[in-house]
């Protein structure tokens, strides 16, 4: 019981310390909200080519997206996951999302960009901005991410955003949109000064 109280306190502290908007030259990372459902669904949530390397099932209808956004809102409130839409600033268009999971100061980063916008450096720009923001927060002791070993594009994004490769992990986890078969993964982390 004591332990549960301590965790709750830490999570609450975390929640108050995350920005809801982060700006880069071309992009705004903005906290996802329930009224983003249609943009999320049509931009990336429903696209099978996007889902291949993701850990959540491709959305079959707007209800899936609305349920997802409800989960997103609750998780933000609990301080365990913070999900941002990635928008092009010049015309406020949603092109993807970036999420960070918080396990009491150990952060896991993930992202997705609409196929229509691949190859223009957007994921790298968003991920770099997030890493630079997170690395200055003293309560964070680790920033990590993993990719399917065949997801070369995502591995490139991580390396360009300040991550280093940490480990090759055979049969590390199942991917729901690839028949739920366990797949090899690569683990990355951001070296944090003073925190090894």
Contact footprint for ligand COA (CB under 6 A): 50, 53-54, 110-113, 118-124, 147, 151-154, 156-157
CB of 25 to ligand COA, least distance (A): 13
Please list, in sequence order, all residues whose beta carbon lies within 8 angstroms of the beta carbon of residue 150, skipping any fewer than 6 positions away.
53, 183
User: Does residue 147 contact residue 187 with C-beta atoms inside 8 Å?
Assistant: no
> Is 153 or 176 the residue whose CB approaches ligand COA more closely?
153
> Is 51 or 79 the residue whose CB approaches ligand COA more closely?
51
* Residues 5, 10, 11: CA angle, nearest 5 degrees: 100
Closest to 157 measured CA to CA, from 169, 145, 167, 174: 145
> Is 62 or 88 the residue whose CB approaches ligand COA more closely?
88
Angstrom distances, CA of residue 45 to CA of 1, 88, 114:
39, 18, 9
CB of 28 to ligand COA, least distance (A): 15
> Is 22 or 113 the residue whose CB approaches ligand COA more closely?
113
> Is 17 or 153 the residue whose CB approaches ligand COA more closely?
153
| Cα–Cα distance measured from residue 127 to residue 187, given in angstroms and rounded to the nearest whole number | 16
CB of 113 to ligand COA, least distance (A): 4
Query: φ and ψ at 31, to 5 degrees?
Result: -45, 130
CB of 99 to ligand COA, least distance (A): 10
**CA 79 and chain centroid, separation:** 14
CB of 104 to ligand COA, least distance (A): 22
């Amino acid at each position: 019981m004591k332990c549960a109280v301590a965790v709750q306190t830490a999570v609450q502290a975390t929640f108050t310390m995350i920005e809801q908007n982060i700006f880069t030259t071309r992009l705004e990372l903005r906290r996802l909200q329930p009224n983003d459902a249609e943009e999320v669904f049509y931009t990336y949530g429903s696209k099978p080519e996007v889902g291949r390397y993701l850990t959540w099932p491709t959305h079959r209808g707007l209800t899936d997206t609305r349920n997802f956004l409800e989960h997103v809102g609750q998780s933000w409130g609990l301080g365990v996951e913070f999900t941002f839409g990635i928008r092009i600033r010049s015309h406020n268009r949603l092109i993807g999302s970036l999420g960070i999971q918080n396990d009491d100061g150990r952060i896991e980063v993930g992202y997705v960009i609409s196929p229509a916008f691949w190859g223009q450096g957007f994921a790298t720009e968003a991920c770099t901005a997030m890493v630079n923001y997170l690395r200055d927060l003293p309560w964070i002791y680790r920033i990590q991410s993993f990719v399917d070993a065949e997801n070369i594009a995502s591995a490139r994004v991580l390396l360009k955003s300040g991550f280093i490769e940490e480990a090759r992990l055979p049969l590390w986890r199942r991917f729901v949109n690839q028949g739920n078969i366990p797949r090899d993964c690569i683990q990355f982390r951001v070296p944090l000064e003073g925190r090894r």
